Homo-oligomer: A and B are copies of this chain.
Amino acid sequence: MSTQKVCIGIDIGGTNIEVGYVNSSGEVIFKRHYPTKSFQHPDQFIRKLQEDVTLDRDLHKLAILGVGIGAPSGNYFTGSIEHAPNMPWNGIIPLARLVQDATGLPSLLTNDANAATVGEMQFGSAKGLRNFILITLGTGVGSGFVSNGELIYGHDGFAGELGHVIVRENGRVCGCGRLGCLETYCSATGVVLTAKEKLSQSLKSELHQIPIHELNSAHISKAAGNGDVLALEVIDETARILAIALANAVAITSPDHIFIYGGLSHAGEILLQPLRKYFDSFLLKNYRNKVKILPSGLPDEAAICGAAALAWNKI
C-alpha cells in the first residue's frame, strides 16, 4: 500500500473539535472527534493531537502536507484565536504556531466562515469562480468574500463579518454589544426570536405545539414546509432582511454567485425562493440577473474540508 497525500483539517468549535485527513479531492479519509471541554488548556489538546497524528500517519500510511484550522474568532494573519466568546479557552491562543511546532507541519488558521469559503472554492460549487460570497447561517451569521480570486482578509485578518452589518438602527441587541446586527435577525437564533415574537401575538400556528424553550429553526422550516402561515411569515421576514444585506454587499464587491451555507440553509427553497424574490427587488439595476443565489456545494463534512482546503489552497 503506497502512501496517500492528505492535509489535516481541524474544525474548532465551542462544543466539539474535529480533526480529519482530507485528500486532494476533498474526501475525508479518516477523522477523529474530541469534546472541546475535555481540554482545559489548549496545550492539552496540542499534546493529544501530536500523539494521534503520529499514530494515524503510520497506521493509514499518510503523507501529510499541511494543516488548516477553522476556528471562531480565528485570525489568518496572526494564526491565533483571539478572544472567542463561546470557547473554554480564553484570551489570545497562537494555535497555528502551537500546531506547527508540535507536528512539524506548515499550519494555517482562519475563522470558520472563511475556512468554509476556501472550501467552497477548492472542493465545492465555487471552483473556478473569482468573485463570490459565501454566507453561513448558523448559531451566528458568518461570511467570506472572494474578489479577484482571493479571499478578502482585510488589513488585520478580520474582514468578512457580514453578520455584524447593522440592518436596523436601534434594532435587536447583538452579542457583540451593539444593536441591529444582521445576525440578530437572520441567524438560527434570530429566526427563533422572530417566531417567538409572532407566536406571542397569534394563536394560529402548529408551532404552538412545541414547548417554547425547545423551539428551533428546524421546527420553523418544517412548519413553513407544511404551509403554516406564521412560520411562512417568519421565513419571509428573515429573507427580506437578508436580501437587503446581500444586495448591499453586492454593491461593494459585485460577485456573480452567493452561496448559502449552515443550519438554516437546510430550509432549502422554502428560504431561497423568497430570498431571491426580495434580492431581485432590492438589487441595483446594474447587477440584476447577474448574481446567482445557490445552496453551498460543500460535502457533509464541510467544516473539516474547508479547514483542510486552507492548507491545500497554499500547496
Give the number of chain A interface residues (Cβ < 8 Å). 40
CA distance A177 to B154 in the complex (A): 32
Cβ proximity bits A57-68 to B, threshold 8 Å, 1 near / 0 not: 000000000000
Given A155-B290, A158-B287, A176-B285, verify A253-B165 contact (CB < 8 Å).
no
Partner of A154, one of B157, B164, B254: B254
Task: Give the residues in chain B near A251, CB-CB below 8 Å.
Answer: 160-162, 164-165
Contact residues in B for A161 (Cβ distance below 8 Å): 251-252, 254, 284, 286
- Verify if A130 is at the interface (C-beta below 8 Å from B): yes
User: Shortest beta-carbon distance, A278 to chain B, in Å?
Assistant: 11
CA distance A154 to B177 in the complex (A): 32
Please report the C-alpha to C-alpha distance between residue A256 and residue B159 in the assembled complex, in whole angstroms.
Answer: 11
Contact with B along A123-161 (1 / 0, CB 8 A): 000000011000000000000010110101111111111
Tell me which of A219-227, A241-249, A293-301 binds B: A241-249
Does A255 count as interface, using CB distance less than 8 angstroms?
yes
Contact of A158 among B152, B244, B286 (CB under 8 A): B286
Q: Is the CB of A256 within 8 A of B156?
A: yes
Chain B residues with Cβ under 8 A from A152's Cβ? 147-148, 252-254
How many angstroms from the CA of A252 to the CA of B150 in the assembled complex?
14
CA distance A286 to B255 in the complex (A): 25
User: Which of B165, B254, B287 touches A252 (beta carbons < 8 Å)?
Assistant: B165
Nearest-neighbor residue (CB-CB) of A241 within chain B: B169
Q: Give the 7 A-B CB pairs with smallest separation, nearest first.
A: A154-B254, A159-B254, A131-B155, A165-B248, A155-B256, A161-B251, A164-B284
> Please, could you name 26 A-B residue pairs with CB atoms under 8 Å apart, sorted by A?
A130-B155, A131-B154, A145-B252, A145-B253, A147-B150, A147-B159, A152-B253, A152-B254, A154-B254, A155-B254, A155-B255, A155-B290, A156-B254, A156-B287, A157-B254, A158-B287, A159-B254, A160-B251, A160-B252, A161-B252, A161-B254, A162-B252, A165-B248, A165-B251, A178-B282, A248-B248
Chain A interface residues toward B at CB < 8 A: 130-131, 145, 147-148, 150, 152-162, 164-166, 169, 176-178, 244, 247-249, 251-256, 282, 284-287, 290
